[in-house]
């Protein structure tokens, strides 16, 4: 009887060992995707289970090594989708329980490696972010001229590995935001005195922190992030506009103050004056507080203009700007708004958002709103401010043709610029001179 118990005990241990060994190597690399962007490359390993990994860098030549444990299938790599100038090759080796993946790089980088839990339509992932430092540092800042263009950074929400929300028909939010952003950029770039800067120009991932850095690097006067809303039920509909919450802005100002090495970047020429001063932190606090207040007021005013225009072509989910602690709105030194152009989870609105004609109308309404906002409150050194200064208050005895001759413009241009139905003007009327 004792022998039988001993036999059963040993058999049980053997079975447990077999299944544990089987499960130990149950993970598998299913695919590898490369998402290049202008200044960053993201490599994504799709896995059947949560990854167990270690990573380290080597030089001479430059390489990144990823060691995966609990991996079945030996060292064979699946098909690699995509390519990047940062990556010369991806190779692997391994045995029954582990895999080593080596990325041969064209230059030395500081990679970021982290795992992601399943989010539709993706499962478990291991993500490798490779910043292209050379491209980032070589990007020249925009030149500042006496009458400069107003710079608007346009952020097409999500992208690449981050698809955003998914509509009833299966369309991804990222595939709706980019065409609207592109159309808006085209309209802005046709407007004298305005210039658009695209945060992303293709289907690739950009971290939310990097989006505000792109806007700051281009000295943007406004950051506009375009998204499509979603809810768990199909009923909610309509557009809304979000601005930075005061709590988030105060927190970000505190973080900026702690990073003294970034004061020059954040404060511009003011930082040169207060550098090495015993009161640097307090002066920086004052400057950043003033900047934050200006940014929040500007963003709120722009948001109201956007809502007024969107309300002409679509329903509004919220009639007033909403404050939120959203990542893309985190910069207290750059006026930022997030525009939800509609609910992708609403079948009717999803159909509209997929329509090229509706996308064009959305872009046109955003363009009108932004133009109107900066006409009313132009930056002091901008072409818009210079044009605003060219105003004339009609005096007794003056006519439209006389003023056109005085300012060396055509009557038609003067009439069109002031949206006049005819040539009649009245005493005291203020005319803008094109």
Cβ atoms < 10 Å from Cβ of 202 = 13
Asked if residue 382 belongs to a domain, the reply is no
Asked if residue 3 belongs to a domain, the reply is no
Q: Are 296 and 340 in contact (CB under 8 A)?
A: no
Pairwise CA distance, residues 189 & 134, whole Å:
28
User: Do residues 270 and 162 both lie within one domain?
Assistant: yes
DSSP code, position 262: G
Write the CA distances from 174 to 202, 206, 364, 367, integer angstroms. 10, 12, 20, 20
Asked if residue 381 belongs to a domain, the reply is no
User: Do residues 288 and 352 both lie within one domain?
Assistant: yes
Dihedral sign (CA 112, 114, 118, 123):
positive
Domain CATH for 323: 3.40.630.40
Query: What is the pLDDT averaged over residues 69-96?
Result: 87
Q: pLDDT tens across 110-146, in order?
A: 999 998 888 778 889 999 999 886 655 555 555 444 5
Domain CATH for 129: 2.60.40.3500
Asked if residue 17 belongs to a domain, the reply is no
Q: pLDDT tens across 181-194, in order?
A: 999 999 999 999 99
Cα–Cα nearest to 434, from 370, 386, 382, 402:
386
Share of the chain above pLDDT 70, in %: 81
Query: What is the pLDDT averaged over residues 7-21?
Result: 46
- Could you tell me which residues are beta bridge partners of residue 172? 166
Whether the predicted pLDDT of 401 surpasses 80: yes
User: Do residues 153 and 68 both lie within one domain?
Assistant: no
Q: Where are the alpha helices (DSSP H) in 129-199?
A: 133-138, 174-189
Which of these ranges, 57-71, 200-214, 272-286, 382-396, has the smallest mean pLDDT? 272-286
Supply φ then ψ for residue 271, to 5 degrees. Answer: -60, -35
Where does residue 170 rank: exposed (0-12), middle (13-18), buried (19+ CB within 10 A)? Answer: exposed
- The pair of structure tokens assigned to 29 is 């690399």
User: Do residues 205 and 306 both lie within one domain?
Assistant: yes
Instruction: Give the pLDDT band of residue 300 (cuts 50, 70, 90).
Output: very high
Q: What is the pLDDT of residue 25?
A: 56
Q: What is the pLDDT of residue 278?
A: 52
Radius of gyration of the chain (CA): 28
Asked if residue 6 belongs to a domain, the reply is no
Residues 6+ apart with CB under 8 A from 23: none
Which residue is listed with tokens 């064009």? 360
User: Do residues 294 and 203 both lie within one domain?
Assistant: yes
User: Do residues 132 and 162 both lie within one domain?
Assistant: no
Three-state SS for 254? helix
User: Do residues 100 and 179 both lie within one domain?
Assistant: no
| Enclosing H/E stretch for 310 | helix 280-310
Q: What is the pLDDT of residue 104?
A: 95
Instruction: Give the pLDDT band of residue 293 (cuts 50, 70, 90).
Output: confident
Q: Which domain holds residue 69?
A: 28-136
Residues 6+ apart with CB under 8 A from 371: 191, 194
Asked if residue 15 belongs to a domain, the reply is no
Domain boundary among 87, 108, 136: 136
Residues in the chain: 434
Q: What is the pLDDT of residue 186?
A: 96
Whether the predicted pLDDT of 337 surpasses 70: yes
Compute the 3-state secondary structure of the chain and give helix, strand, coil in percent, each to the nearest 5. Answer: 40, 25, 35
Which residue is listed with tokens 């992932």? 125
User: Do residues 131 and 151 both lie within one domain?
Assistant: no
E strands of 262-368, at which residues?
322-324, 336-343
- Could you tell me which residues are beta bridge partners of residue 240? 340
User: Do residues 129 and 258 both lie within one domain?
Assistant: no
Which of these ranges, 67-71, 281-285, 341-345, has the smallest mean pLDDT? 281-285
| Enclosing H/E stretch for 19 | helix 2-24
Pairwise CA distance, residues 143 & 30, whole Å:
47
Pairwise CA distance, residues 404 & 415, whole Å:
9
Mode of pairing for the β-strands spanning 98-105 and 87-94 = antiparallel
User: Do residues 294 and 395 both lie within one domain?
Assistant: no
Supply φ then ψ for residue 214, to 5 degrees. Answer: -60, -45
Mean pLDDT of the chain: 83
Pairwise CA distance, residues 299 & 321, whole Å:
9
User: Do residues 150 and 131 both lie within one domain?
Assistant: no
Q: pLDDT tens across 191-200, in order?
A: 999 999 999 9
Asked if residue 301 belongs to a domain, the reply is yes
Query: What is the pLDDT averaged over residues 249-260?
Result: 65
Share of the chain above pLDDT 90, in %: 45
User: Do residues 157 and 300 both lie within one domain?
Assistant: yes
Asked if residue 95 belongs to a domain, the reply is yes
Whether the predicted pLDDT of 67 surpasses 60: yes
Instruction: Give the pLDDT band of residue 376 (cuts 50, 70, 90).
Output: confident
Which residue is listed with tokens 């133009």? 371
DSSP code, position 145: -
Domain CATH for 411: 3.10.350.10
Report the number of distinct structural domains present in the chain. Answer: 3
Helices 174-189/356-376 angle, 10° precision: 50
């Amino acid at each position: 009887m004792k022998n039988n118990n001993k036999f059963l005990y040993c058999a049980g241990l053997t079975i447990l060992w077999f299944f544990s060994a089987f499960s130990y190597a149950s993970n598998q690399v299913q695919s590898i995707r490369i998402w290049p962007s202008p200044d960053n490359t993201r490599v994504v390993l799709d896995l059947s289970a949560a990854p167990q990994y270690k990573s380290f860098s080597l030089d001479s030549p430059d390489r990144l090594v990823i060691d995966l444990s609990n991996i079945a299938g030996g060292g064979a790599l699946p098909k690699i989708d995509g390519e990047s100038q940062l990556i010369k090759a991806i190779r692997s080796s391994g045995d029954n329980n582990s895999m080593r993946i080596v990325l041969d790089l064209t230059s030395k980088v500081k990679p970021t490696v982290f795992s992601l839990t399943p989010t539709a339509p993706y499962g478990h992932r291991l993500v490798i972010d490779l910043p292209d430092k050379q491209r980032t540092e070589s990007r020249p800042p925009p030149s500042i001229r006496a009458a400069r263009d107003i710079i608007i950074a346009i952020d097409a929400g999500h992208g690449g590995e981050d698809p955003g929300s998914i509509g009833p028909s299966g369309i991804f939010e990222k595939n709706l935001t980019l065409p609207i952003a592109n159309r808006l950029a085209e309209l802005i770039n046709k407007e004298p005195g305005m210039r658009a800067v695209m945060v992303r120009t293709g289907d690739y991932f950009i971290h939310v922190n990097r989006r505000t850095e792109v806007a700051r690097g281009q000295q943007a006067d406004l950051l506009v992030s375009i998204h499509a809303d979603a809810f768990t039920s199909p009923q909610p509909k309509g557009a809304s506009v979000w601005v930075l919450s005061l709590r988030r802005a105060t927190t970000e100002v505190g973080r900026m103050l702690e990073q003294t090495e970034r004061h020059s970047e954040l404060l511009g020429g003011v930082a040169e004056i207060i550098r090495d001063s015993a009161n640097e932190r307090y002066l920086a606090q004052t400057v950043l507080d003033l900047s934050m207040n200006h940014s929040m007021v500007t963003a709120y005013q722009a948001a109201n203009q956007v809502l007024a225009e969107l309300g002409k072509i679509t329903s509004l989910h919220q009639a007033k700007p909403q404050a939120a602690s959203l990542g893309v709105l985190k910069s207290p030194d750059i006026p930022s708004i997030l525009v939800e152009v509609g609910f992708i989870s609403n079948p009717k609105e999803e159909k509209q958002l997929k329509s090229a004609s509706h996308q064009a109308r959305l872009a046109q309404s955003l363009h009108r709103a932004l133009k109107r906002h900066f006409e009313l409150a132009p930056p002091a050194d901008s072409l818009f401010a210079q044009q605003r200064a060219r105003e004339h208050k009609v005096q007794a005895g003056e006519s439209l043709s006389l003023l056109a001759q005085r300012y060396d413009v055509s009557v038609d241009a003067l009439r069109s610029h002031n949206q006049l139905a005819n040539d009649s003007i009245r005493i005291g009327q203020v005319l803008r001179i094109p």
